[in-house]
Amino acid sequence: MKRLILSAALPALMLGACSTMPGAQDPTEASVPVAQASMPNFPADLTPAGVAAADDHLALEAVDGAEGMAFVARSNERALATLEGDPRYEPFRQQAEAILTATDRIPAPSFLGDGIGNFWQDATNPKGLWRRTTLESYASGDTQWETLLDIDALARAEGKDWVFKGASCLPPAETRCLINLSDGGKDAVVVREFDLTTKAFVEGGFVLPEGKHRISWLDADTLLVATDFGPGTLTESGYPYIVKTLKRGQTLVQATEVYRGEAGDGGYGVSPYVLRDGSGAVQAVLINRPLDTFRAETWLWQDGEAVKLGLPERVSVYGMMGQQLVVGLEEDWIWRGESQPAGTLLAADINKLRDPGDGIILTNADEEIFTPGARQSINSVSVYDDHVVVSYNDNVVGRVAVFENRGEWGWPRTDVAVPDNQAVSLGDSSRGSGRVFVSTQGFLTPPTLSLFTVDGAALTELRSAPPKFDTSTHRVEQYEATSTDGTKIPYFVVMPRDLALDGTAPTILFGYGGFQISFPPAYKPEMGKLWLEHGGVFVQANIRGGGEFGPGWHQAALNENRQRAFDDFAAVAEDLIARGITSPRHLGIYGRSNGGVLTSVSITQRPELFNAAVIESPLIDMLRYHELPAGASWIGEYGDPRIPEEAAWIADYSAYQRLSPEVDYPRVYITTNTRDDRVHPGHARKFAARLEAQGHDHLYFEDTAGGHSNDADPVANARRWARHYVYLAQQLMD
């Protein structure tokens, strides 16, 4: 088993293991147990005013403020010296860049008119090329690409840090497209109409200024738009709640209102979407009005008026087949006089939903399409004119099934053969041709891309990615840990084949546990190259809050039950230690975004279990998260700190307020992005500043461009991964 070799020139880089810094707590001093430690910055008054009064780092919330940027500059200087000054950094950076810019990776395809579209980034084109080819050329060994839009050239010509955020093209020809361009990688985008026949922006075409828009083509000259229409037209989260029709040649001021929610609406803003059949004809226009993060009303816009449909508030609409909406239930629903369980996929007559009469009771006995089992959950759904393709998880590994609409004869099912013990996901689909891309991959198995036709029986392989690291040294096992309430929590371990169970293996434990997002096995080439090849262990915990076992698995860790996710994560850590796979000295954790809640809480609640934590793009100040854009959109997940009862349970875990100078925390690495307009950089800044003020050793790095998704530039992303793995090697291997 290969291990990283520590250079004799690196004693100053072993801070997390055996040395101290000026102002840092001496690890030889006795550490006070978390339960007994004082929390000098915990607010005595949990009202918003009381929380703000107890916060000595509010100035760091000003994204471009002088104090905040000075803190960033000072912290970045120290972090870069420690991480990029490590001899491992440059080899790691080069290896990560070679992986992220490799020309032999699978180009992610999308159906585009009669051909295939792709957005491609490499070392020569770090901002990327939007391009197209034919399906025949794509499937060949020598694909010929036609460039539609060069983002690097556009950015140079316009003097903007443009990041391509996708395109929406008008069916069926898909020659007119709305291009989304982000300045610096933010979620907010500028929208410009583009003509694929001339490969140029349309003179006098649709243009929307920067914003978090929700847009759908209605016809060639009309858009349905939800956006910032001026003062008072956004929710407290900064998302739109008004929908208007925008005609070609009109300004936003001239657009005609067709639907209005309320300024107090939650979630990610009202969204119009147009459902079409295989020919591109409009079947229905729906409007989703979010009430909070997960609850929403579904409205039908027809003949100039909006009618609320009788669907449950927790539901996913996947498409339409004839007069039937194909929906996935996220809560139990009274259907045909009986309670239909959450997780079920069914087809509901839109006419009956429009006028449900006495209760929402449907009559077609064949409307149920698929009900997952107790350890299953729907992953993705593609709807066609007479078929539905479903990818689903079965004990966290992928499966695919096709259901044919046979009317009064029901929905006969055909299972599609896919590899065992891998993640399976549906890619882009073409309703007109009845085709969908299917991707399969595993922790040690590179992705394979196949094409599936709904009336076929098997996948047709198109591309297979070459391996990017040596997989012969490792194996994958799935185990279960028992959480504090007795719930069995599954987790995967990617470990050396000859691992000695003596607790010495450097191990990364990854978790997320939120927003019903599932994490099945996935190929992580940079992790394999920079970690596994050096003898490391990687663990993925499928804790509650995720979607691995359906809506119930997610909802079990919402709001006042959030502690269950943290307990699940700690239970996996304890199980790894009990099995002898690793020990607290060699166990580190990684999480980003909502995973930043998880990792920051894990460090403050159970610091004795870990010796490292990468806390990336995190939520951490949970008592003020609703005040930091776009935090209020997540109240349905965490609760509302403005309500005293909910503030009390949030305060029980909010890591920023619960830090103590008396507790011995491991040296953590906190990192975020100045241009992240999804999770405010103030969370990470303030946590780092408080660690510093209390004398805790830590590293903080804030990149100045890239946004929340880290998709702006693969070269910059390579630097990011190199820093992560240098830090983890310092803490867990040195």
Q: What is the set of active-site residues?
A: 593, 708
Residue 195 CB partners (closer than 8 Å, separation 6+): 175, 176, 201, 202, 205
- Exposure of 408 by Cβ count < 10 A (0-12 exposed, 13-18 middle, 19+ buried)? exposed
CA distances in angstroms from 258 to 217, 255, 297, 303, listed in the order given? 15, 9, 16, 11
Residue 216 CB partners (closer than 8 Å, separation 6+): 168, 223, 224, 272, 273, 274
Distance (Å, whole) CA 635 – CA 292: 7
Helix (H, G, I), strand (E, B) or coil at 286: strand
471 CA to centre of own chain: 27
Helix H or strand E segment including 287: strand 282-290
Q: Is the dihedral of CA 44, 48, 49, 53 positive or negative?
A: positive
Q: Is the dihedral of CA 150, 152, 153, 155 positive or negative?
A: positive
DSSP string for residues in 560-621: GGTHHHHHHHHHHHHHHHHTTS--GGGEEEEEETHHHHHHHHHHHH-GGG-SEEEEES----
Distance (Å, whole) CA 553 – CA 375: 10
Total residue count of the chain as it appears in this document: 734
Residue 586 CB partners (closer than 8 Å, separation 6+): 503, 504, 505, 506, 507, 611, 732, 733
Distance (Å, whole) CA 105 – CA 673: 27
332 CA to centre of own chain: 26
Helix H or strand E segment including 139: helix 135-139
- Pick from 70, 175, 170: which is nearest to 115 by CA? 175
- Exposure of 64 by Cβ count < 10 A (0-12 exposed, 13-18 middle, 19+ buried)? exposed
DSSP string for residues in 669-702: EEEEETT-SSS-THHHHHHHHHHHHTT--EEEEE
Please tell me the number of Cα atoms within 13 Å of 433 on its side-chain side: 18
570 CA to centre of own chain: 22
Distance (Å, whole) CA 433 – CA 102: 31
